[in-house]
Structure 1
Amino acid sequence: METLRPKRTLGIAGAAHALHDGCTDLIYVLLPLWQTEFGLGYGALALLRGVYAGSMAALQVPAGRLAERWNGRAVLACGTLFTGLGFVIAGSTGSVWGLCAGLAIAGLGSSTQHPIASAAVSRAYGSAGRGPLGVYNFSGDIGKAAIPALMSLLLMALSWQLSLGLIAGLTVALAVVIAVWMPPIAPATAAAEKRPRIGGGRGGFRLLLTIGILDTGVRMGLLTFLPFLLRDKGAALPTVGLGLALVFVGGAAGKFLCGWLGARFGTLRTIVVTEGGTAALIFVVLAAPLLPALLLLPLLGMVLNGTSSVLYGAVPEVTLPHQSQERAFALFYTGTIGSGALSPVLYGALGDAVGPVWAVTATALVALTVVPFAFALAPRLER
């Protein structure tokens, strides 16, 4: 039975990662509907996305500390329940303010997932945790592909309010599974004794975080406008959902492939390829008709999401010996998710000023600015 506990922990943590990340990204499918129903501009739509991501980012570290003092499994279950409650509120009030309140509550609930679920997997496997943590990270990308696609199918038969209610039902069911079947999370002290400490050069973490913030901003800015770009190319709502699913499927493959490439060819070369490829493919998708653009979306998703797997893997290399890896990961998640909250608002305001095409062009240019930071970071990483 003891040998099954880590596998059960990984399975439930992976399910939580998939559902929470999927719930975060299904918002992109709903943006065109909210624009029509509430008469919102791109900046206001990006702000709605930012409300969810902002509340999730702001509470990453507090959620981790709460789990250290209380039962982490209970905190994760309650957070998952709050995500479902937030979606119910968002779909039932009928107003923009109610929608904002619901998204804020849902984001608050989702803030518990990353610090608690990743720590649960790490502590369950100890020094053998790198592989299971890779599976856990990959499960989030599966959710990003599956949940938005499920929402698109539901929207073909139901209103967005009822569709969001059904997704909320899934989160409530998962909260019950976490509370009843997830094994207790090992204390931090026991896990720390099993994990080797890795040091890095001073300033390396700041450079890595800067790259993560810029990379996340490019990804979230592009995804905010992608539904509108596809719509303007003639895509119906189900096709928009398909396009997003293609990006997320490509992103899942990219996270797996680029993690391997980073280990084999180095962080610098991988980042240069992914960020340069992201910029190039954004320009091609902007210029292409609908069908060729759809065919290119999986490849765009691979390079768009591939950098993140390299960056997460480099966090231990730039963590100083006297620092906690858990705290370093929490700060890195806070910075990147915070970028995911703020950057769509900035790109949305730019879209209102100059149009969505130029706003997406700006994301490609920002992707290219990551490359000099990667060259500065490379000497600070262990070979």
Structure 2
Amino acid sequence: MLREPRLSVSSNTSLRVAAAWRVLRFSQSMRLFSFSSPTAAAPDGADQAASVPRTRVLWLSCMAHALHDGYTDMIYALLPVWQADFGLNYAALAILRGIYAGTMAMLQLPAGRVARTLGTRTTLAVGTCLAALGYAVAGMSGTLLGLCVALAISGSGSSTQHPLASGAVSRAYGRNARGPLSVYNFSGDLGKSALPAAISILITVMPWRHALWAMSIIGILVAAVIALFLPSVPRTALSTEGASTHSSNGSRSGFPLLLTIGVLDTAVRMGLLTFLPFLLKAKGISPPMMGTALALVFIGGAAGKFVCGWLGARVGVIGTVLATEGGTAALILAVIWLPLALAMIVLPLLGAMLNGTSSVLYGTVPELTPVERTERAFALFYTGTIASGALSPVVYGLLGDRIGVHGATIATAITALAIFPLALALRPHLRAK
């Protein structure tokens, strides 16, 4: 602690020196409370990226997440339009959805390797631009083959978002990244709510091809913002203390079970969302209300991530998974048999159950993985769940062609119940924590 010097000079000089001394002491005091200070943010050296404008990293990553997730789920609102325009059956529609999700899943690990060469900002900006251009090409395609190529282009661009944006947030916040990552995850649900609703409205006032061109312009603008304003985040390691603590708590033995649960949970969600527009269409829903219905599901899903995160901390991971999967199965059956008005009422709760499990599983990945493999574990978890999202609609689509929409939708409810024994098998691995 510095002591204020005693000065025996003129009165004016003393006043100026005293004022300067007070400013110096005030700045030293404020440094203790600075959120971006290395001392405050990482007292043990865990956050070496404290000088990075972390808020800008977070919000630009959230913007990218909202756009790419919105692009991914915008396909659901377009499936009935493409069915009418190209004369497709359910299996072909599921293949269209699978092309986008499949390319996105397969290219996530390569996207990380490209980012180590070109940098996160450049790779993410180029990927966002590709995702937008893919939808522009889809708007120009006159054949089913052209539409498939366009969706593959857009899916390859979206493969950059999850690993790079979440990695940027993690590196920017270091050991304090859990809260910012929850905000990042929530932003994806905002995009899932906004973009499918927007495209549903646009295709009622203009041809669907023009609507896709309009949506692609939004993606080009977001890519430009990322290229211009996303800060460069250095790749820093966790502190030795944090690493040893994480490693001692980690257990790889439960990770395959967790991944399997995530794969099946994604299969339930994607299978249901593939058939939901057709279930509602059979109940007499109008095209503008279709976008509203999907928005209700996705808004409920966003709320479910928060609620299930709170519930998981109090009830536990296994109790929350059992509750959400059981609720999902019950609500799927309710949507099948209820009239349209009542089905619309339960859609937000169904969305909460559908997405709630994924938030609990995602937060459990670090607990079951040694710290030196956490990033790779997240990449594997994302790849597995997204691959499930690509393949499961094809399987359910083929099933729908054989036994009908209602039968295939009931199969998704049965899949949700199949998670119960896996969750119970995972319990011993979590008790050790």
Q: Normalization by structure 2: what TM-score?
A: 0.86
For 1:324, the equivalent position in structure 2 comes to 373
User: Quick one: percent identity of the two aligned structures?
Assistant: 58
> Which whole-Å deviations, capped at 9, do the CAs of 1:322-351 have from their partners, x for residues lacking one?
x42110000000000000000000000000
CA contact (8 A) 2:52 2:231 kept: no
Superposition deviation, residue 191 in structure 1: 5.3
Superposition deviation, residue 192 in structure 1: 6.6
Superposition deviation, residue 64 in structure 1: 1.2
Superposition deviation, residue 68 in structure 1: 2.0
> Which whole-Å deviations, capped at 9, do the CAs of 1:79-121 have from their partners, x for residues lacking one?
0000011111111011100000000000000000000000000
Q: Distance in 2 between matches of 1:191 and 1:62?
A: 24
CA contact (8 A) 1:149 1:242 kept: yes
For 1:310, the equivalent position in structure 2 comes to 360
Gaps of 5+ in 1: none
Change (3 A) 1:202 1:6: closer
Superposition deviation, residue 260 in structure 1: 1.3
For 1:370, the equivalent position in structure 2 comes to 419
Q: Distance in 2 between matches of 1:27 and 1:194?
A: 45
For 1:231, the equivalent position in structure 2 comes to 281
> Which one of 328, 331, 338 corresponds to residue 288 of structure 1?
338
CA contact (8 A) 1:127 1:194 kept: no
Gaps of 5+ in 2: 1-35, 37-49
Q: Distance in 2 between matches of 1:4 and 1:290?
A: 50
Which of 13-22 and 147-156 deviates more? 147-156
Residue type of the alignment partner of 1:158: M
Which of 108-117 and 261-270 deviates more? 261-270
Flag as ranges the 4+ runs of structure 1 deviating above 6 A: 1-4
CA contact (8 A) 1:152 1:237 kept: yes
User: Is 2:405 the partner of 1:356?
Assistant: yes
For 1:174, the equivalent position in structure 2 comes to 222
Change (3 A) 1:193 1:234: farther
Q: Distance in 2 between matches of 1:39 and 1:90?
A: 16
Superposition deviation, residue 217 in structure 1: 0.3
For 1:91, the equivalent position in structure 2 comes to 139
> Which one of 218, 234, 249 corresponds to residue 299 of structure 2?
249
1:124-135 superposed matches below 5 A: 124-135=172-183
Change (3 A) 1:38 1:192: farther
CA contact (8 A) 2:109 2:379 kept: yes
User: Is 2:129 the partner of 1:59?
Assistant: no
For 2:33, the equivalent position in structure 1 comes to none
Q: Distance in 2 between matches of 1:40 and 1:138?
A: 34
Q: Distance in 1 between matches of 2:380 and 2:52?
A: 31
Superposition deviation, residue 193 in structure 1: 6.2
Superposition deviation, residue 264 in structure 1: 1.6
Change (3 A) 1:302 1:338: same
Change (3 A) 1:157 1:194: farther
For 1:347, the equivalent position in structure 2 comes to 396
Superposition deviation, residue 292 in structure 1: 0.4
Residue type of the alignment partner of 1:87: Y
Superposition deviation, residue 4 in structure 1: 7.3
Which of 345-354 and 255-264 deviates more? 255-264
Which structure exhibits the higher relative contact order, with contacts defined as CA atoms closer than 8 Å and separated by 6 or more residues?
1
Q: Distance in 1 between matches of 2:112 and 2:391?
A: 22
Which of 234-243 and 267-276 deviates more? 234-243
1:117-128 superposed matches below 5 A: 117-128=165-176
CA contact (8 A) 1:200 1:380 kept: no
For 2:124, the equivalent position in structure 1 comes to 76
Which of 127-136 and 255-264 deviates more? 255-264
Q: Distance in 2 between matches of 1:76 and 1:43?
A: 32
CA contact (8 A) 1:54 1:342 kept: yes
For 2:19, the equivalent position in structure 1 comes to none
Rg larger for? 2
Q: Distance in 1 between matches of 2:361 and 2:386?
A: 14
Which of 351-360 and 1-10 deviates more? 1-10
| RMSD (CA atoms) | 1.4
Residue type of the alignment partner of 1:54: G
Q: Distance in 2 between matches of 1:173 and 1:101?
A: 23
Q: Distance in 2 between matches of 1:105 and 1:304?
A: 28
> Which one of 140, 164, 168 corresponds to residue 188 of structure 2?
140
Q: Normalization by structure 1: what TM-score?
A: 0.97
> Which one of 16, 41, 45 corresponds to residue 64 of structure 2?
16
CA contact (8 A) 1:255 1:309 kept: yes
Superposition deviation, residue 194 in structure 1: 8.6
For 1:274, the equivalent position in structure 2 comes to 324
Q: Distance in 2 between matches of 1:292 and 1:195?
A: 50
For 2:198, the equivalent position in structure 1 comes to 150
Q: Distance in 2 between matches of 1:294 and 1:275?
A: 20
CA contact (8 A) 2:135 2:151 kept: yes
User: Is 2:257 the partner of 1:207?
Assistant: yes
For 2:94, the equivalent position in structure 1 comes to 46
Change (3 A) 1:320 1:232: same
CA contact (8 A) 1:148 1:245 kept: yes
Residue type of the alignment partner of 2:104: M
Residue type of the alignment partner of 1:145: S
Superposition deviation, residue 256 in structure 1: 1.0
For 1:300, the equivalent position in structure 2 comes to 350
